[in-house]
Structure 1
């Protein structure tokens, strides 16, 4: 059948490949870790094999899908353009550098930010075999974008990435300073973003700051509610943290968070309409009495 499309889900080379009809309906998926093709519509079986053939390797099993989990059902019902999982680290910065009109100095700063986000993003993505799931560039109305949302056995972490620029970085309760640059409100911002994410996901989200390539990092002793991450110990620290979420919880939260519609503000309630009175009743303006004209 012509018109089938193969769409990736998750990090390139690691997530599933979904086969969709032109209208976006999924008819099959290829699980690269299990090396299995699950076919939802058997009449598309040959067409599915043909369109997936360039991606297959080794001995591949094919058959009906296993009993879907709630996360699978949510993914199948999600429009492809609402899926945040394929976002690359620094996705918005890449677009800004490619199409923006910023000056030379601003573009240099953007490249530093992009390099830091890519480095941390690659480190978080490498945790996937250990049961972690990561989203990048998550839109959060009213706050901008979360650089990385990391979900795994140790919990959920809302991560803001800061380039250290090989200078001394100091993290205080409200501000973060790198070298002699103007202080940045990153600690205050990440607290607000994590609180908003907690409300959206109905699960505790820990704020985290990832400082990349600082020559020295100092943190005020009063900063206890923010997780401070610094390569190369950032991901080993997460792996060593106590377990807070079971694998099904991780997958369910990831399925919820990857849907861009999850992060949209709730729609305002429709305006209330006045209740009609009994037949013959006329609404009176202020100051009018029955029987007086």
Structure 2
């Protein structure tokens, strides 16, 4: 068997965004390709040519190659993270996929879940597109006592706990405590977002702002007194996020991302609280 055939290319992280690892048949990594930095890090120099051959179909542009860079603190945390504790591969609306498959049988309930899932997916795609601007997103984060954060957005302007609001072409009215979509019953989303952001701030030991991502609204009316919850109209709000000024004390984005993507961060806090 040739060296090229013996090597296997395996993805890590969200499709199209994480690293590609090159492994031997026994599972040991000999190299990885960081698509974001367009760099190949080679652990076994005698496999260099074989690594290049097996990765060639995945390479774009000018690629640098060499030994692994000295890892940062965040990098060391990421390398030590067990795959089953890593939240980074979570898809937007991950928990709803299971509900749709095994959940309510009623047509109305399934219809609502499908619209909710579509909104979370559209919001998640918009937030993931901010990666080149220095932002990182973790989707479907378990928050003990409050369910799950739809999207935790970490970037140069701070950290945001985002609740998704599917509007489907209707008017959305947002007050200090409640919001309403069209003529539907008022929902406590602003209040939930505040509580979730405050809890996430304690878990991560960093300021976290509450945000509502309103997807495909015909119109959004926001109470002038609503100052502590950011309202993002998607899909047009993400350029606004990218242009936000850096926080007074810019967060260490990669270190926060490394902590936020580790499910043990959230479970450990719940255990200490119990």
The TM-score with structure 1 as length reference comes to: 0.81
Gaps of 5+ in 2: none
Query: Quick one: which of 5, 10, 31 aligns to 1:6?
Result: 10
Other-structure match for 1:141: 144
Q: Secondary structure at the match of 1:115?
A: helix
CA distance in structure 2 between the partners assigned to 1:25 and 1:243 by the alignment: 40
The equivalences for 1:1-293 within 5 A come to 6-9=10-13, 11-19=14-22, 27-42=30-45, 52=55, 54-57=57-60, 60-244=63-247, 249-266=252-269
Q: 1:267 to 1:42 in 2, by over 3 A?
A: farther
C-alpha contact (below 8 Å) 2:7/2:22 kept by paired residues: no
Unaligned runs of 5+ in 1: 270-293
Q: Is 2:155–2:251's contact at 8 Å kept on the other side of the alignment?
A: no
Aligned partners of 1:249, 1:7: CA distance in 2, in Å?
Answer: 26
Q: Secondary structure at the match of 1:66?
A: coil
How far apart in 1 are the matches of 2:250 and 2:41? 21
> C-alpha separation between the residues in 2 aligned to 1:177 and 1:152?
29
Q: Describe the SS at the equivalent of 2:212.
A: strand
- Shift of the alpha carbon at 1:43? 6.5
38-47 or 255-264, larger mean C-alpha shift: 38-47
1:134 CA displacement: 1.1
> What is the deviation of 1:152?
0.9
- Whether the aligned pair in 2 keeps the contact of 1:155 and 1:245 (CA below 8 Å) is no
Q: Which moved more, 1:57-66 or 1:138-147?
A: 57-66
Secondary structure of the 1:264 match is: helix
The count of corresponding residues between Structure 1 and Structure 2 is 268
Aligned-residue CA RMSD (Å): 2.7
* 8 Å CA contact 1:173, 1:188 repeated in 2: yes
Contact 2:157 2:250 in 1 (8 A): no
Counterpart in 2 of 1:289?
A: none
> By percentage of residues, which structure has more helix?
2
SS in 1 for 2:105: coil
Classify the secondary structure of the residue corresponding to 1:207: strand
Q: Which has the larger radius of gyration?
A: 1
CA distance in 1, matches of 2:170, 2:130: 28
Structure 1 window deviating more from structure 2 (52-61 vs 189-198): it is 52-61
